[in-house]
């Protein structure tokens, strides 16, 4: 049964050509006819309910190959016709010519033709059918009708050789044409007289038959008007085609080669039809008179049954659905776990007991669809070529060495062990550094499928673990959906914004993620909808977050945290040149030769406009520039367009005034001001601490004041010279008062109290006569008061600002510091060293003071990140004071109570970027600009 049709000689013949004679073999597709054979010489309308057969013939017609088919009647009538009404089995195939046929209303299709399992089910003699046209039923009904013209009788002699890998629904047979019979000439008077007599009797019988009421009378009357009845053999074929005789008798007429014998057989059929019609009329009259009501009910019930079946109202879809599920389960084989296979069998048995109209049937069907659609035991093969993966990661992303190295380590472990295991990584960093896009590159490097979903603001646990099937519209969670969509059991799943999970009365999604992201548990993960164990141990989970503070501790403990601090100036410069500028020019349709961004302008753009840790703001600025260039180009004629050059002189014309000309409020810090380093969710930044104070002139103004420290009390912000105030006598009932502003958190408020207490002790050790901090009303402020600030790392900065105010000596202007201070002066470890170092580099601060315990964190930074910086590591405030005031003429303590200061100097020559980051290999390695 080849679908390659059109290779035979009949398919290439011109329309209307006579059958091939002389025994020449012709290959034709065989169309099995169920009800009766097709007689040559008259149009036939063959109705086909099978969409496969109809589409197959339509495809042959579309390719210019299906002009002819072979019509062979089946040896046996299909069993499904046993209960069909007579109006269907006796309906003739003969039809009016296509240009004379009146439009008929759409009716359900008869099953005139169909598919057989073997060629042996077809009779030997049939007709060659010229396909005149195809008539589709409707878009919602399968199948259609074929208007054919039988051109002559043919005999099948064999099955044609199959060509091509695909098989169609029809057999391709080898056929030979039978010779066309003609009426004997007048020379044979006896035979000619017998044929004329038979012809006259046939005409008389047909006329008498037309007087009787029978089923197809109206169609019979219409057909004989359009065909010539003078030829006895053509009349015989027409009469046989319109007859309701048994199909075997009609096949004998088609097979008969003797003209006289053929006319006798047709006349006998007509006589039987006439007698049957008379008996039917008589019987109908008697039955209608005697059993009118019962017969009417029976007929109506039979018609109702037939109509329902044709409208698919009684078709048993349930068995076909169950069969389809059994086939799916069989195809899954032994890859399905035992428990899941048992659930499938139970659900399939349950489906067989339910009515298709019931709601439970659809629930059970949907559940089975999800179970059979999952990729049970199907895994994609991981890439084991380390060099290829490293090349992909370097092409797609710039810098981010920690992430790249971790992925390569994962591949190396899988390669050595010979098995693949999933991992849970969490990429933490400010917005715009490429956390989300690195997930796509990881999937590409590993040759795995990639699926991403965001849990930012997610409150419903069901989005993770699915809904229980008791709810209307229940469905599995995102994890199961990912497996179904990607059709593998080991994809890379990116859980975005995991630090922004919600929590309310609907549940806590972070708790639901505990099982998903636990390597010890997710090998038997149970979705609430499926309620069968699913193996997630081979899935590589990657989470992204801006901060880890809002991630619940148990969830954070299950993840391997990889921090992405952001990009320095040199990295942003390379990213812009290699990726962002070419992409924005291409995206906005600006020709490359009509726009030039000078290096000085790009440097100023990065330095004064895009100081964030990522490159998202830089991308926006470049897009803004290219849009303005595009607008200027379209405003003039194409011939008059000129090259747009963006320089430092006209940069503000494109992007406006720089939002951060400098974060440094003070080029030279005055007394009472110290520069610190802070970590934020957007990266690191410098932070100034201002301290001002005055000693009241009279004791009356302080009579009602509490002698204790009050960081919330209001104070006058005006200041006196500390040296003069230190000589004034201490007022009675006076105590230190300090007001702290700048939207500080509780921890930072406590740090200010510790800083004041230790500064008083330290100042008394330096200058016993200086009592300024003991008596003054102090106001400490941190600028940018709209931004919340918290954390203990500003302790040494606050202490230095208070001492600078009390001693009236400035802190070094090119020094920034960070560290938590205790009441005994110890400087404790803080976090965010990389972010703070990058912030200092952005502000051209080349001297840094860090806690001694952060020395390892600083040395882990790449040399090009530390280039030009001098970092001092201390463990007591004595050393911080000495470093900050050694050039200001301030009194120095006798010795240090801490360990020896460690100074790390990184030469400026180390600023040269590594080879893989410079693009020297000729490959673009900049997709880190595909920011989160």
Condensed to tens digits (0 to 9), the pLDDT of residues 598-620 reads 989 998 888 888 878 788 889 99
Q: What is the mean pLDDT of residues 146-154?
A: 90
The pLDDT of residue 101 is: 55
The pLDDT of residue 708 is: 36
Q: Are strands 870-874 and 820-821 parallel, antiparallel or unpaired?
A: unpaired
In this structure, the number of other CB atoms found within 10 A of the CB of residue 448 comes to 24
The pLDDT of residue 89 is: 61
Q: Is the dihedral of CA 412, 417, 418, 421 positive or negative?
A: negative
d(CA 684, CA 676): 11
Cβ contacts of 496 within 8 Å, gap of 6 or more:
436, 452, 453, 454, 455, 456, 543, 544, 932
DSSP-assigned letter for residue 609: I
Q: What is the mean pLDDT of residues 746-772?
A: 92
The pLDDT of residue 736 is: 55
Which of 704, 691, 697 lies closest to 778, judged by CA? 691
Angle of CA points 216, 222, 223, to nearest 5°? 85
The pLDDT of residue 185 is: 62
d(CA 884, CA 899): 17
The pLDDT of residue 698 is: 54
Condensed to tens digits (0 to 9), the pLDDT of residues 281-305 reads 777 777 667 777 777 777 887 787 6
Tokens standing for 439? 């997930």
Main-chain phi, psi angles of 726, to 5 degrees:
-70, -20
When computed from its CA atoms, the radius of gyration of the chain, rounded to whole angstroms, is 47
At 87, is the pLDDT very low, low, confident or very high (cuts 50, 70, 90)? low
**3-state SS, residue 45:** strand
At 816, is the pLDDT very low, low, confident or very high (cuts 50, 70, 90)? very high
The pLDDT of residue 167 is: 62
At 699, is the pLDDT very low, low, confident or very high (cuts 50, 70, 90)? very low
Name all contacts of 885-890 with Cβ < 8 Å and 24+ positions apart. 885/803, 885/804, 885/807, 885/809, 885/811, 885/812, 887/812, 888/809, 888/810, 888/811, 888/812, 889/809, 890/766, 890/807, 890/809
| Candidate from 526-535, 759-768, 790-799, 907-916 with smallest mean pLDDT | 907-916
What b/e sequence results for 341-370 when a residue is b if at least 16 CB atoms lie within 10 Å of its CB, and e otherwise? bebbeeebeebeebeeeeeebebbbebbeb
The pLDDT of residue 7 is: 37
The pLDDT of residue 853 is: 94
pLDDT over threshold 50, residue 110:
yes
d(CA 396, CA 438): 8
In 505-663, which ranges are continuous DSSP H helix?
509-516, 553-557, 569-575, 581-587, 599-604, 616-634, 651-655
Cβ contacts of 427 within 8 Å, gap of 6 or more:
403, 435, 438, 439, 542, 543, 544, 545, 562, 564
pTM comes to 0.54
Active-site amino acid positions: 793, 836
Condensed to tens digits (0 to 9), the pLDDT of residues 337-364 reads 889 999 999 988 888 888 877 888 888 9
Give whole-number Cα distances, 313 to 48, 187, 306, in Å: 20, 63, 10
DSSP-assigned letter for residue 15: T
What is the residue-averaged pLDDT of the chain?
Answer: 80
The pLDDT of residue 14 is: 34
The pLDDT of residue 432 is: 84
At 706, is the pLDDT very low, low, confident or very high (cuts 50, 70, 90)? very low
Give whole-number Cα distances, 800 to 389, 539, 760, in Å: 50, 51, 11
The pLDDT of residue 780 is: 94
Condensed to tens digits (0 to 9), the pLDDT of residues 446-501 reads 889 999 999 888 888 888 888 888 888 889 999 999 999 999 998 999 999 998 88
User: What whole-number percentage of the chain has pLDDT above 70?
Assistant: 83
Which of 248, 61, 225, 233 lies closest to 147, judged by CA? 61
Condensed to tens digits (0 to 9), the pLDDT of residues 508-566 reads 888 888 888 887 788 888 999 998 999 988 888 999 998 888 888 888 888 888 888 77
pLDDT over threshold 50, residue 732:
no
Q: In this predicted model, which residue has the larger pLDDT, 738 or 924? A: 738
d(CA 433, CA 930): 8
Residue written as token pair 């997930």: 439
d(CA 443, CA 492): 6
At 681, is the pLDDT very low, low, confident or very high (cuts 50, 70, 90)? low
Q: In this predicted model, which residue has the larger pLDDT, 167 or 509? A: 509
The pLDDT of residue 113 is: 86
């Amino acid at each position: 049964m080849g679908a390659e049709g059109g290779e035979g000689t009949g398919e290439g013949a011109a329309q209307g050509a006579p059958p091939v004679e002389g025994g020449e073999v012709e290959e034709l597709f065989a169309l099995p006819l169920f009800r009766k054979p097709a007689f040559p010489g008259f149009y036939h309308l063959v109705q086909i309910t099978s969409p496969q057969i109809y589409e197959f013939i339509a495809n042959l017609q579309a390719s210019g190959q299906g002009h002819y088919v072979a019509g062979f009647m089946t040896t046996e009538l299909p069993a499904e016709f046993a209960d069909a009404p007579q109006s269907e089995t006796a309906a003739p195939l003969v039809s009016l010519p296509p240009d004379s046929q009146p439009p008929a209303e759409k009716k359900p299709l008869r099953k005139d033709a169909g598919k057989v399992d073997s060629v042996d089910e077809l009779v030997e003699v049939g007709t060659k059918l010229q396909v005149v046209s195809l008539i589709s039923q409707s878009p919602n009904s399968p199948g259609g009708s074929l208007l054919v013209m039988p051109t002559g009788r043919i005999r099948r002699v064999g099955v044609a050789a199959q060509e091509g890998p695909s098989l169609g629904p029809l057999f391709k047979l080898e056929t030979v044409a039978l010779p066309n019979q003609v009426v004997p000439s007048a020379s044979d008077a006896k035979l000619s007289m017998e044929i004329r007599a038979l012809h006259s009797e046939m005409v008389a019988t047909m006329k008498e038959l037309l007087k009787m009421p029978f089923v197809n009378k109206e169609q019979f009357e219409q057909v004989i008007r359009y065909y010539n009845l003078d030829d006895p053999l053509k009349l015989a074929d027409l009469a046989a085609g319109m007859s309701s005789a048994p199909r075997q008798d009609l096949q004998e007429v088609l097979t008969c080669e003797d003209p006289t014998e053929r006319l006798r057989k047709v006349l006998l059929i007509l006589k039987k039809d006439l007698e049957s019609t008379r008996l039917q009329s008589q019987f109908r009259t008697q039955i209608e008179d005697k059993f009118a009501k019962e017969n009417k009910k029976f007929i109506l019930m039979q018609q109702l049954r037939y109509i329902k079946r044709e409208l698919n109202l009684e078709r048993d879809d349930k068995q076909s659905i169950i069969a389809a599920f059994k086939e799916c389960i069989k195809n899954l084989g032994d890859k399905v776990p035992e428990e899941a296979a048992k659930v499938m069998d139970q659900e399939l048995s349950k489906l067989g007991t339910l009515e298709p109209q019931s709601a439970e049937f659809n629930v059970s069907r949907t559940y089975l669809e999800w179970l059979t659609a999952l990729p049970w035991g199907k895994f994609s093969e991981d890439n084991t070529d380390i060099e290829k993966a490293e090349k992909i990661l370097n092409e797609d992303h710039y810098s981010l060495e920690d992430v790249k190295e971790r992925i390569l380590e994962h591949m190396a472990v899988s390669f050595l062990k010979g098995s693949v295991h999933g991992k849970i990584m969490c990429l933490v960093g400010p917005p715009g550094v490429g956390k989300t896009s690195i997930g796509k590159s990881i999937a590409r490097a590993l040759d795995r499928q990639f699926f991403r979903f965001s849990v930012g603001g997610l409150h419903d646990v069901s989005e993770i673990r699915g809904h229980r099937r008791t709810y209307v519209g229940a469905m599995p969670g995102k994890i199961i959906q990912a497996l179904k969509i990607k059709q593998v059991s080991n994809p890379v799943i990116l859980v975005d914004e995991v630090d922004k999970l919600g929590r309310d009365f609907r549940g806590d999604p972070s708790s639901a993620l505990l099982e998903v992201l636990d390597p010890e548990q997710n090998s038997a993960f149970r979705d609430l909808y499926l309620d069968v164990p699913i193996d997630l141990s081979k899935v590589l989970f990657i989470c992204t977050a801006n901060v880890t503070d809002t991630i619940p501790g148990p969830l954070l403990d299950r993840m391997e945290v990889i921090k992405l601090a952001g990009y320095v100036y040199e990295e942003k410069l390379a990213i812009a040149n290699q990726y962002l500028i070419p992409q924005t020019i291409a995206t906005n349709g600006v020709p490359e030769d009509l726009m030039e961004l000078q290096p000085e302008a790009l440097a100023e753009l990065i330095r004064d406009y895009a100081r964030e840790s990522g490159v998202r703001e830089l991308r926006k600025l470049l897009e803004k520039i290219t849009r303005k260039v595009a607008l200027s180009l379209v405003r003039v004629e194409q011939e008059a367009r000129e090259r747009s050059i963006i320089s430092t002189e006209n940069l503000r014309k494109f992007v406006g005034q720089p939002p951060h000309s400098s974060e440094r409020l003070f080029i030279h810090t005055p007394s009472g001001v110290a520069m610190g380093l802070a970590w934020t969710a957007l990266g690191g930044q410098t932070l100034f601490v201002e301290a001002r104070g005055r000693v009241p002139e009279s004791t009356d103004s302080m009579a009602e004041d509490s002698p204790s420290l009050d960081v919330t009390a209001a104070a006058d912000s005006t200041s006196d010279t500390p040296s003069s105030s230190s000589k004034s006598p201490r007022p009675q009932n006076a105590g230190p008062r300090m007001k702290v502003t700048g939207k500080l958190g509780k921890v930072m408020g406590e740090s200010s109290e510790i800083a004041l207490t230790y500064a008083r002790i330290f100042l008394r050790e330096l200058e016993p006569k200086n009592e300024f901090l003991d008596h003054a009303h102090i106001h400490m402020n941190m600028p940018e008061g709209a931004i919340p600030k918290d954390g203990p790392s500003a302790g040494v900065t606050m202490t230095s600002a208070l001492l600078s105010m009390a001693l009236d000596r400035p802190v070094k202007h090119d020094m920034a510091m960070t560290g938590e201070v205790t009441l005994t002066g110890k400087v404790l470890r803080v976090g965010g060293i990389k972010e703070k170092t990058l912030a200092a580099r952005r502000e051209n601060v080349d001297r840094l003071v860090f806690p001694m315990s952060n020395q390892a964190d600083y040395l882990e930074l790449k040399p090009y990140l530390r280039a030009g910086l001098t970092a001092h590591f201390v463990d007591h405030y004595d050393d911080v004071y000495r470093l900050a005031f050694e050039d200001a003429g301030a009194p120095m303590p006798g010795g240090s109570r801490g360990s020896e200061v460690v100074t790390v100097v990184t030469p400026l020559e180390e600023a040269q970027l590594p080879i893989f980051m410079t693009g020297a290999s000729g490959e673009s390695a900049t997709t880190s600009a595909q920011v989160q």
